[in-house]
Amino acid sequence: MGVFDLAQQVVNQAAGVIIGDTAIDITEVMENLEERLNSMDLGPLIGLWFQSLFVGLTMWALVICIFIIVYGRMIEIYLMASMAPVPMAAMLGKEFGNMGQNYLRSLFALGFQAFLIMVCVAIYAVLVQHIVLSDNISTAIWTCMGYTVLLCFTLFKTGSLSKAIFGAH
């Protein structure tokens, strides 16, 4: 539990910095959106509606994927904690000492993965902050979807990256 307390301390310190720097003011974005939509013709509005419908459905799928990644990590934490007695008991033995050491590396990697997830979400928030002021609504929608796909991909990679850093199998 000490490993996760240490990891939680690192994540909490990172969260304070990240939340302050990545806040998005939605009122600034929405203030002239209605005027821009009213100035568009019917054809481009229908095209924009189809694009936003497709992107909206795709974003729901990506949100589900992101939740699966985060909840899967939480289940992995519970599984690792429930198996602690076996590798910890074998840690002092000559033959199975590597199992205990690898278990500790895996615990540190799992705790560090939360920090990497926070960094990925912070980068995503900064990227999204800079696209909301775009003049072209269609480009802003597709750019936001692209950044969300990138977030999903990087969240998948956080587990293998943290294991590589700590040398866990």
Residues 83-117: tens digit of each pLDDT: 888 877 777 777 777 888 888 888 888 888 888 88
Tokens representing 141 are 């929608």
Average pLDDT over residues 20-42: 71
Share of the chain above pLDDT 70, in %: 87
Neighbouring residues of 138: CB distance < 8 A, sequence distance ≥ 6: 47, 48, 51
Q: Which residue is associated with the tokens 């000492």? A: 97
* pTM, entire model: 0.76
Give Dmax (Cα) for the chain.
76
How far apart (Å, rounded) are the C-alpha atoms in residues 58 and 154? 17
